[in-house]
Amino acid sequence: MSPTLPRPADAGPRQRRKQARPHELLEAALALFVEKGFAATRTEEVAQRAGVSKGTLYLYYPSKEELFKAVVRHNLSSLIAEGEALAGQFEGSSSALLGRLMHAWWQRVGSTPAAGIHKIVLAEVRNFPELAQFYSDEVIVPAERLFSGTVQRGIDRGEFRPMPTHEVALMLIAPLIFMAVHRHSFGACPVHGGMDVDPAPMLQTHLDLVLRGLEVRAEPVAPGPLPTRRGKKTPP
């Protein structure tokens, strides 16, 4: 009879704390990056908010740049990867798939502190070209590929009329970025008479407009007249 191997003991409080530490560091970093900006945030502050030493932070993330990259991967890249997996096995209509993807973005990013990442990137990425390239490779290109691929899926299945998929993808994504930036700018200030943004109806209205524009219809919409400069007439 072979000897019974001992069962591994459950992780104690110290081990569980160690396992949770990377997540706690990412949460602290995200909060400070959103509050102060990337350039103004010091790694000592992140360590202090997470309740660890600066040396412990560097064991997991050797620089502030690597810490920011980890924040982006944890909050954005992972969601895009989930969207790609969903698109690969989704059996419903392409309109329904686009709706799932966009609502998932709002629930997981737009309505959370992670929405502030978009504000950070737009405001500061010009001063950090390496991070700009990273964000393009890690977020912009995969997100565009996911949405343009979903539009192409609809075209191939005869659900959508032929359209330039890259441009449609940008039109789908742009209002999502706007809502995220608004939430962490005007939406965070007590501005009277400003532009109120109610995310749920805005997202649904945006989807409705884009999907109606994509739907196959009998007659294409004729382009309108080009705008002219004042004092000049449009030729017949």
Phi and psi, residue 114, nearest 5°: -60, -20
Helix, strand or coil, per DSSP, at residue 11: coil
Q: Looking at residue 143, what is its pLDDT?
A: 96
- Confidence category of residue 195, pLDDT binned at 50, 70, 90: low
Q: Looking at residue 183, what is its pLDDT?
A: 77
Burial class (CB in 10 A: 0-12, 13-18, 19+), 34: buried
Mean pLDDT in residue range 81-105: 95
Q: What are residue 215's DSSP bridge partners?
A: 160
Mean pLDDT score of the chain: 84
Q: Looking at residue 5, what is its pLDDT?
A: 45
User: What number of CA atoms fall less than 13 Å from residue 70's CA on the CB side?
Assistant: 19
> Which of 103, 62, 44 has the alpha carbon at shortest distance from 79?
103
- Confidence category of residue 197, pLDDT binned at 50, 70, 90: confident
Phi and psi, residue 215, nearest 5°: -60, 145
Residue 43 makes CB contacts below 8 A (sequence gap 6+) with: 54, 57, 58, 64, 67
Look at residue 184 and tell me whether its pLDDT is greater than 80. Answer: no
Q: By the 8 A CB rule, do 46 and 32 touch?
A: yes
Q: Looking at residue 25, what is its pLDDT?
A: 96
Q: Looking at residue 234, what is its pLDDT?
A: 47
Distance, in Å, from the CA atom of 121 to the CA atom of 112, rounded to the nearest integer, reads 16
Ranked by mean pLDDT, the top range of 76-80, 208-212, 219-223 is 76-80
Q: Looking at residue 198, what is its pLDDT?
A: 77
Which DSSP string corresponds to 27-78? HHHHHHHHHH-TTT--HHHHHHHHTS-HHHHHHH-SSHHHHHHHHHIIIIIH
Whole-number percent of the chain with pLDDT over 70: 79
C-alpha torsion 182→128→23→147, nearest 10 = 60
pLDDT tens, 51-87?
999 999 999 999 999 999 999 999 999 999 999 999 9
Mean pLDDT in residue range 94-114: 93
Look at residue 4 and tell me whether its pLDDT is greater than 60. Answer: no
- Confidence category of residue 2, pLDDT binned at 50, 70, 90: very low
Q: Of residues 18 and 4, which shows the higher confidence score?
A: 18
Look at residue 141 and tell me whether its pLDDT is greater than 70. Answer: yes
- Domains of the chain, CATH where assigned: 68-214 (1.10.357.10)
Q: Looking at residue 228, what is its pLDDT?
A: 52
Q: Looking at residue 21, what is its pLDDT?
A: 85
